[in-house]
């Protein structure tokens, strides 16, 4: 079943059951996917869908952290609940997507991109990220890729 079909079914179920968190989260995800399709002017591949879901989870986790530090437990609960809903889709998509890269495989891709781009300092991180991301999209966490690129360019990844 396609992700869009699953989301439509889940939205209907959430509307019937009165599950506001699931309803709102599914609508948000449907909107994010639609916006990416419009930007791409083409249907999305599974790994692109996975990337969007992972990004939305990360946004909710970061928001929950901010509200936790501010002492707003109601907002923390809402973001944690939304992340849990999104995690269901991430798990399903990850099973269908290409296998995730190991740490060593990811390091090798980053090292190769540094050599290809000739980057020598953290200021050239964008150049390396532009070379790495198309190769690892959907198969590695974007945050981890960024950390490895920064580490490598700072001299700690060799």
**Helix 46-70 vs helix 142-153: crossing angle, to nearest 10:** 80
pLDDT for res 76: 97
The arrangement of secondary structure in 3-96, i.e. its CATH architecture, is: Orthogonal Bundle (1.10)
- What 3 state SS string does the chain have? CCHHHHHHHHHHHHHHHCCHHHHHHHHHHHHHHHHHHHHHCCCCCHHHHHHHHHHHHHHHHHHHHHHHHHCCHHHHHHHHHHHHHHHHHHHHHHHHCCCCCCHHHHHHHHHHHHHHHCCCCHHHHHHHHHHHHHHHCCCCCHHHHHHHHHHHHCCCCC
User: What are 15-43's pLDDT values in tens digits?
Assistant: 999 999 999 999 999 999 999 999 999 99
Contact residues for 58 (Cβ-Cβ < 8 A; gap 6+): 142, 143
CATH 1.10.10.410 intervals, the chain: 103-153
Q: Is the pLDDT of residue 63 over 80?
A: yes
Contact residues for 52 (Cβ-Cβ < 8 A; gap 6+): 29, 32, 33, 36, 44
pLDDT for res 48: 86
Using pLDDT thresholds of 50, 70 and 90, give the confidence band for residue 102. Answer: confident
CATH 1.10.1510.10 intervals, the chain: 3-96
Q: Is the pLDDT of residue 71 over 70?
A: yes
**Phi and psi dihedrals of 19, rounded to 5?**
-80, 90
**Single pTM value for the model:** 0.66
pLDDT, mean over the chain:
90
Total Cβ atoms within 10 A of residue 120: 10
The arrangement of secondary structure in 103-153, i.e. its CATH architecture, is: Orthogonal Bundle (1.10)
**Does residue 128 contact residue 110 with C-beta atoms inside 8 Å?**
yes
pLDDT for res 50: 87
């Amino acid at each position: 079943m396609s992700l869009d079909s699953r989301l439509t079914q889940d939205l209907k179920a959430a509307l019937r059951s009165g599950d506001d968190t699931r309803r709102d989260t599914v609508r948000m995800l449907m909107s994010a996917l639609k916006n990416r399709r419009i930007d791409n002017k083409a249907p999305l591949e599974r790994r692109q869908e996975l990337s969007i879901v992972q990004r939305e989870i990360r946004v909710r986790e970061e928001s929950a952290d901010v509200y936790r530090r501010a002492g707003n437990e109601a907002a923390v609960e809402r973001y944690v609940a939304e992340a849990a809903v999104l995690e269901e889709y991430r798990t399903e998509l990850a099973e269908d997507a290409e296998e995730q890269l190991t740490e060593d495989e990811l390091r090798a891709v980053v090292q190769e991109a540094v050599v290809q781009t000739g980057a020598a300092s953290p200021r050239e991180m964008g150049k390396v990220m532009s070379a790495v991301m198309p190769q690892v999209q959907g198969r590695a966490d974007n945050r981890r890729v960024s950390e490895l690129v920064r580490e490598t360019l700072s001299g700690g990844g060799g």
